[in-house]
Chain A
């Protein structure tokens, strides 16, 4: 093997991407030729130096992918492919029909007056004596307090959803905080315990131990954070679904004057 042939294979030799046979040949040349030996050694030095830049600490941070919501999956299932005006119209008609059916099952009453409109869904009307004049359909007879007890406005529903969502998120957050504090305290105890019982001989290992502890702590924290963020997300998703349902009902029950 001559220097030119060696030069073509230097990198493969350096990174050991050669067959055993080639490796022996190349090693033979390096041993006999000082110029090529110097070249290989200087490249090895660069490699060693580059190895000083160590891998970053292992960190499992959450990666959030914008997955389609269950609603868009339903949309895709109802009308596959691109969303055109025609499919949107047919979807709207189908949705309207479903909402009307739902209204008739629930016994919904929509009452329009000059104060706006009132929406009343009553599942239990059949259980009530219909002939009773006090609960007659005539809304004029029912006092405002009684009627607000029986009818659920969509604003109220939205408000309730929001309140429940906020409450759940607060709960989640305080629980998360508590766990994180607990964890941090336990690590701190471990760290101070270690420092106190240490003699000078063990100092060499200390930095590594701390690194490992730190990595463990980060991984634990991450695990907690992941669990909570998925819980959080699920709650938000559920709230969003309900909100969308409310929106549809609201749209369907709105009639311009």
Chain B
């Protein structure tokens, strides 16, 4: 087994001026943070921007990082705060709607090839799947900020309730209250969209 250097040791080295240690931290957490921010914002290119800002902000504030929490919790918190303020900024300039959220994972080239298949079963299945994904994304977008954060951290980041309480700096009971309320809101929105079977 190879021994993995803990995040906190890399933080220590970064503070002492070793920029490669911070590169390692970025490498370790980039996809996790990107994922989180993407779920918060629903747009890939904006998620990239905010993710970049989060790592920069963390680097510039590393001296203020209190070692009483995990580095990852602290990084999560920064990313969440930046995402929330980004959402607020977006609300103030309502140029594009949630429907315009595009998925760049599948390129136009591939879609063109799929069209050439004259609509085989897989294409239909994929279109349906994307439609459902859009409904979920929209429903999550309608949640109150604090419910959305908890739902994303739990459902997509797989954090435990204890870990979420550390990230958000609130008691576990509060986390659960928000989670429960969030799930019920989701139930309402998804039922409304007529997706939840019968």
Contact = CB atoms under 8 A, between A and B. Distances in A.
Nearest to A47: B155
Interface in A215-253: 215
Chain B: interface secondary structure?
A: helix
A60 B35 CA distance: 11
Interface string B128-139: 010011011100
B122 A65 contact: no
Interface residues of A, number: 41
Interface string A24-67: 00000000000000000011011101111111111111011111
B147 to A, nearest CB: 13
Contact of A52 (B34, B59, B105, B136): B136
Contacts of A97: none
B161 A11 contact: yes
Best-buried of A54, A60, A64, A215 by chain B (most CB within 10 Å): A54
A205 B187 CA distance: 32
A63 B30 contact: yes
A175 interface: no
Given A63-B55, A65-B59, A49 B136 contact: yes
B124 to A, nearest CB: 11
Given A49-B136, A204-B122, A211 B105 contact: yes
A207 B123 contact: yes
Given A49-B195, A65-B59, A214-B110, A11 B105 contact: no
Contacts of A52: 129, 132-133, 135-136
B105 A214 contact: yes
A17 to B, nearest CB: 6
Interface string A137-179: 0000000000000000000000000000000000000000000
A227 to B, nearest CB: 14
8 contacts: A11-B179, A52-B136, A63-B30, A63-B51, A195-B116, A205-B122, A210-B106, A211-B105
B6 interface: no
B26 A65 contact: yes
Interface in A58-86: 58-61, 63-67, 73
B69 interface: no
Given A50-B155, A55-B35, A57-B105, A65 B121 contact: no
A49 B123 contact: no
A203 B104 CA distance: 22
Contacts of B114: 206-207, 210
A54 to B, nearest CB: 7
A63 B161 contact: no
A204 B17 CA distance: 52
Interface string B148-164: 00010011100011000
Best-buried of B22, B34, B48, B151 by chain A (most CB within 10 Å): B34
Interface in A177-207: 191, 195, 200, 203-207
B94 interface: no
Q: Which 9 A-B pairs have the closest CB atoms?
A: A57-B105, A203-B120, A53-B136, A52-B132, A53-B133, A210-B110, A67-B19, A204-B122, A46-B186
A51 B195 CA distance: 13
A60 B30 contact: yes
B126 interface: yes
B91 interface: no
A124 interface: no
B122 A206 contact: yes
Nearest to A61: B48
Contacts of B103: 56
B117 interface: yes
B176 A11 contact: yes
Interface in B1-50: 17, 19, 22-23, 26, 30-31, 34-35, 38-39, 44, 47-48
